[in-house]
């Protein structure tokens, strides 16, 4: 292995050792919403919809407020998925809050 490769690996190991979760990636709002949107039925997926609703931020959007430019995509995806979940508790309110969130956002 050459010196550059060893240096890169050493730095990566150091970064991973400093992460409390070892660098694991948690569930994705965007991926979950897209899967729910394209599955076609709410039946049997209530837990996934409930998880999606629980991830909504107080301002109505999804995603981290620390990264405001990266909140549009997960919010749109969740909104589209939840539109078909209207009979589920909290879905209609989540859709309304997401719509208001997106209306308040400046155009990119």
Cα-based angle 16, 74, 18 (whole degrees, multiple of 5): 10
The 10 Å CB-count burial string (b at 16+, else e) for 50-78 is: eebbebbeeebbbbeeeeeeebbebbbbb
**Can you state the percent helix, strand and coil of the chain, rounding each to 5?**
60, 0, 40
Please tell me the predicted confidence (pLDDT) of residue 46. Answer: 93
Which pTM does this prediction carry? 0.74
- Token pair 């076609």 is found at 40
Please tell me the predicted confidence (pLDDT) of residue 25. Answer: 64
**pLDDT tens for the 108 residues of the chain, in order:** 688 888 888 888 887 777 766 666 678 999 999 999 988 788 889 999 999 999 999 999 999 888 888 899 999 999 999 998 888 999 999 999 999 999 999 876
């Amino acid at each position: 292995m050459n010196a550059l490769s060893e240096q890169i690996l050493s730095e990566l190991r150091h970064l991973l050792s400093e992460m409390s979760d070892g660098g694991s990636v948690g569930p994705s709002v965007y991926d979950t919403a897209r899967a729910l949107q394209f599955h076609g039925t709410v039946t049997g997926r209530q837990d996934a919809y409930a998880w999606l609703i629980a991830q909504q931020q107080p301002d109505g959007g999804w995603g981290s407020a620390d990264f405001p430019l990266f909140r549009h995509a997960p919010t749109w995806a969740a909104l589209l998925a939840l539109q078909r979940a209207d009979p589920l508790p909290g879905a209609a309110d989540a859709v309304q809050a997401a719509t208001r969130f997106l209306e308040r956002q400046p155009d990119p």
